[in-house]
Amino acid sequence: MRQDQEDPYQRRSARVYAGAGRVGRGPAAPHGGVLYDAVLLDRDGTLIEDVPYNGDPEKVRPLPGVRAALDRLRAAGLRLAVVTNQSGLARGYFDEEQMRAVHARVEELLGGFDAWLVCPHDDADGCDCRKPSPGLVHAAARELGTSASRCVLVGDIGRDVGAALAAGAAGVLVPTPVTRPEEIAAAGWVAPDLPSAVDEILRRQRAVQPARDADGVGTALVVRSDSAGDVLVTGPAIRAVAAGARRVVLLCGPRGRAAAELLPGVDEIIEHPLPWIDPAPTPVDPDDMRRLTARLAAVGADEAVVFTSFHQSALPLALLLRMAGITRIAAISDDYPGALVDIRHRVPAGVPEPERALSLAAAAGHRLPAGDEPVLRLRDGAVASRPAAVGDPGYVVLHPGSAASSRACPTELAARIAGALSAAGHRVLVTGGPDERTVTARVAAAGGTDLGGTTDLAGLAALVADAAAVVVGNTGPAHLAAAAGVPVVSLFAPTVPFGQWGPYRVPTVRLGDAGAPCRDTRAASCPVPGHPCLSGVDPAEVVEAVRTLTVSGGGVR
């Protein structure tokens, strides 16, 4: 094509520039369990001082510590790309030649980048690459020979984090004085500056790699009590243990049983409620505890790995495991474990639950094998077939309920969302458990098909797997969507941290008031009248989020 002809595709898509310092590394070595291949960096306010619409190389000023931080990433083998909105091009404040001169100066001061991805558009262009749309992140991943889910993006405003999540990448916010408080509240991962963000990226990368691989284990007992979502997010860690063990036995609770059946790597399931974990526990029955201990002893495990979430204690079970004769026990415990735990692991706050669990597996000497991505997955053949009555794939699943009402979408709002999605041309399937039929019927009446109470978890997994997107609160089906690689519009009540419990490594748009008073309360029922964290969501935002997630990139696997 001649230079003076306009390429209609080029006009609407990101421009890709090779970095001057491009090192031309091949794809990352096939080494199991690596979280990230590449770090994507916003330019203005993240790498260099933000000089609005700068076309002058003399005005390029790196932020403190950035050069050394980038060199730490390079030394660790991570590839680097810049992903930047430059609407000054669309607005004619500078031309492409001036921009290239600025980028050359950035590389002179900060070292080479493997690629530069630039959105030259303005909001009015409606392109798919201007952050928070995910186009630049997808383009960067392609350019670097990896996938968005193996990238982490660092930027200083909500648009950066939004683009990362919408592509299925991790996003770190490094706030500056221009960052709005609501952007900080909504981000799942916040670091004070780029050097700190880099330290945490490298720490998380190392944390899932064993210092020393465990010797072959015969039988491993893994434990994850609590609900379906808890079991699903522990899946990658259980696969890591399974990779180094001949047999894996999973102890779970009754509410997690159906999810346990869906996990790869599990050879046998023991179902038993744990009264120190269950939200509505029955009194401790000494005979029942003795029966459980005997059952655990009969497993003959060479090691036990006890997975918990950040507000649960592994220690009561560790005592029973000791009484069952298990001599090697690994667990996360901030509380002093004395003689109850052999591998005591600790994890800072804010780490995604799947990585938190993977880091415990790594502390016990287990890693995911090469080729097994650190993503949620379901066992082949475990997912039921989709009922023919729901029609072709490509519908939107709307799941309003949650076992914890504080994390459910208000029925009236869910009905308006169903109406808005239908009006926008989507086929909407409304799902829910047998006890949520009244809600699903009311929601579906506003626009959609009521499937409340018609599927078990495996059936719901089948429905979700063929959806274009899933609209759901912070509850089990969000993790089913992540396991299927289906994009999620997350109506996320901030009762627990989004960075820990948000849908993992799947394109996501987060909606709702992240700064609402229920934040970090872990409340099961909403402590604030009117459920304000979610009731303020505008159905038009949900329609727009579905568009963002399905137009560019879409599903990732």
Q: What residue ranges bind Zn ion (CB under 5 A)?
A: 119, 121, 127, 129-130
| Catalytic (active site) residue 215 | no
Rounded to the nearest 5 degrees, what angle is found at the Cα of 200, between the Cα atoms of 195 and 204? 150
* Distance of closest approach, residue 131 Cβ to Zn ion, in angstroms: 9
* Distance of closest approach, residue 107 Cβ to Zn ion, in angstroms: 22
Of the residues 4, 37, 44, 278, which is catalytic?
44
Q: Residue 43 or 344: which CB sits closer to Zn ion?
A: 43
Q: Residue 129 or 451: which CB sits closer to Zn ion?
A: 129
- Alpha-carbon Rg of the chain, whole angstroms? 24
* Distance of closest approach, residue 14 Cβ to Zn ion, in angstroms: 6
Using DSSP, state whether 223 is helix, strand or coil: strand
Q: Residue 139 or 329: which CB sits closer to Zn ion?
A: 139
Using CB atoms within 10 A of its CB, is residue 5 exposed (0-12), middle (13-18) or buried (19+)?
exposed
* Distance of closest approach, residue 490 Cβ to Zn ion, in angstroms: 24
* Distance of closest approach, residue 167 Cβ to Zn ion, in angstroms: 14
* Distance of closest approach, residue 88 Cβ to Zn ion, in angstroms: 13
Q: Which amino acid is at 195?
A: P
* Distance of closest approach, residue 39 Cβ to Zn ion, in angstroms: 21
Q: Which helix H or strand E contains 509, and what residues bound it?
A: strand 508-511
C-alpha to C-alpha distance for 448 and 144, rounded to whole angstroms: 41
Q: Residue 82 or 129: which CB sits closer to Zn ion?
A: 129
Q: Residue 10 or 438: which CB sits closer to Zn ion?
A: 10
- Phi/psi at 382 (nearest 5 deg)? -80, -25
| Catalytic (active site) residue 278 | no
Using CB atoms within 10 A of its CB, is residue 338 exposed (0-12), middle (13-18) or buried (19+)?
exposed
* Distance of closest approach, residue 115 Cβ to Zn ion, in angstroms: 16
- Report the phi/psi class of residue 39: left, alpha or beta, with left for phi > 0 and alpha for psi in -120 to 50: beta
- The H helix count followed by the E strand count for the chain is 21, 18
For residues 14-44, one letter each, b for 16 or more C-beta atoms within 10 angstroms of the residue's C-beta and e for the rest, the string is bbebebeeeeeeeebeeebbbbbbbbbbbbb
Q: Residue 127 or 153: which CB sits closer to Zn ion?
A: 127
- Phi/psi at 413 (nearest 5 deg)? -65, -45
Give yes or no for a contact between 194 and 213, defined as CB atoms under 8 angstroms apart. Answer: no
Q: Residue 163 or 326: which CB sits closer to Zn ion?
A: 163
C-alpha to C-alpha distance for 309 and 340, rounded to whole angstroms: 18
Give yes or no for a contact between 165 and 510, defined as CB atoms under 8 angstroms apart. Answer: yes
Give yes or no for a contact between 219 and 300, defined as CB atoms under 8 angstroms apart. Answer: yes
Nearest to 379 by CA among 220, 261, 485, 246: 261
Using CB atoms within 10 A of its CB, is residue 388 exposed (0-12), middle (13-18) or buried (19+)?
exposed
The partner residues of 223 in beta bridges, in order of sequence, read 251, 306
Of the residues 37, 42, 128, 160, which is catalytic?
42
C-alpha 177, offset from chain centre: 27
Q: Residue 100 or 257: which CB sits closer to Zn ion?
A: 100
Q: Residue 136 or 190: which CB sits closer to Zn ion?
A: 136
Give yes or no for a contact between 233 and 357, defined as CB atoms under 8 angstroms apart. Answer: yes
* Distance of closest approach, residue 114 Cβ to Zn ion, in angstroms: 20
Give yes or no for a contact between 542 and 417, defined as CB atoms under 8 angstroms apart. Answer: yes
Active centre residues (catalytic): 42, 44
